[in-house]
Amino acid sequence: MNTSTIKKIDFTVAIPTYNGAERLPKVLELLLNQKEIENLSWEIIIIDNNSSDNTNEVIQYYQKTCTQKFLLRYFLEKKQGITFARMRAISEARGEFIAFVDDDNLPAPDWVFQSYTFGKNHPQAGAWSGQIHGDFEVSPPEDFTRIQAFLAIREHGSQEYQFDADNLRLPPGAALVVRKQAWCDSVPKELVFNGRLSKLMVGGDDTEALLYIHKAGWEIWYNPAMHIAHQIPHWRLERDYLLVLARGCGLCIFQLRLINAKNWQKPIILVKTILGNLHRILQHIIKYRGKFKSNLIAIFEISFYFASMMSPFYSLRWKLDRILKNPIVEND
């Protein structure tokens, strides 16, 4: 296909999904009923990440019945992992701005309008995100707000501000909007983290791409006018899932901190990662001594600190695995 003939549009909503046949209709209905977008040229694209259910049939139904003035397109991405799905979305999207909406995200009626308007008003913004509210199937545990960011729930008040990328304080990939130019010019074609595929559920895929966008000089913003709900099923609040999540979020920390680091800073980051988290662990043990069995949030936090402390060793193991899978062959 001659890419020069593809008509570019204002806004793309990209929905990566895996076995989302039951979840997608609710998301699509909310997108089909967006307000204040009469003068906006936009599209929805579904990136099916190798589903085994009838996701394709659900999309075919909406393609036949949709009468809106935008396209609903479907693509099958067989490489498993959210990173591959998002990369496919970037390559297929025609919009100047690309919004990643997960199949369990429920956008407010003006979410598209607020997302697009913010991008137009902030030309130096490479990525931006808004408020993500929890839509819980069951009540979360006591003090859950301390760890809610790990489940992509972000409620940071009513004032705009730039995220602190240097300290890894960044929005999640869910409900994130990126400027296509910023992504294409900044993010490598291959990333380290491809999604929570293994039993370790190692994260980092959201943050890695944003760090490259930040490294290239783009701003990353919080826009409080964008509201979206994140559906949290009961099993995502259970102890076993939360502790695996804590470990997966911690194991990527060292590798992420290296992305924007100069060579002379890397030994310092190594020491700070190990000793800083060791200090946090000791503080937590003292503070919650005798209470770990009953305090799920404290257990989550100390599990995250321990995994963060071990993240340099995980990074080394990852590099060795890559070398063994792709050995360098020297010419004679």
Instruction: Summarize pLDDT for 200-214 with one digit per residue, the tens.
Output: 788 888 899 999 999
Average per-residue pLDDT for the chain: 92
Query: What DSSP line would sit under 121-170, residue for residue?
Result: H-TTEEEEEEEEEEEESSPPPTTGGGTGGGGT-B---SS-EE--GGGT--
Residues in the chain: 332
Q: Could you tell me the two tokens for 125?
A: 């913004």
Identify the top-confidence range among 3-7, 36-40, 189-193, 320-324. Answer: 36-40
Handedness of CA 212, 94, 24, 128 (dihedral sign): positive
**pLDDT, tens digit (0-9, with 9 covering 90-100), for 225-284:** 999 999 999 999 999 999 999 999 999 999 999 999 999 999 999 999 999 999 999 999
Q: Indicate if the pLDDT at residue 48 is higher than 80.
A: yes
**Whole-model pTM?**
0.91
Q: Which residues of 141-165 are buried (b: 16+ CB within 10 A; e: fewer)?
A: eeebeebbbbbbbbebeeebeebeb
> Which residues sit opposite 71 in a β-bridge?
43
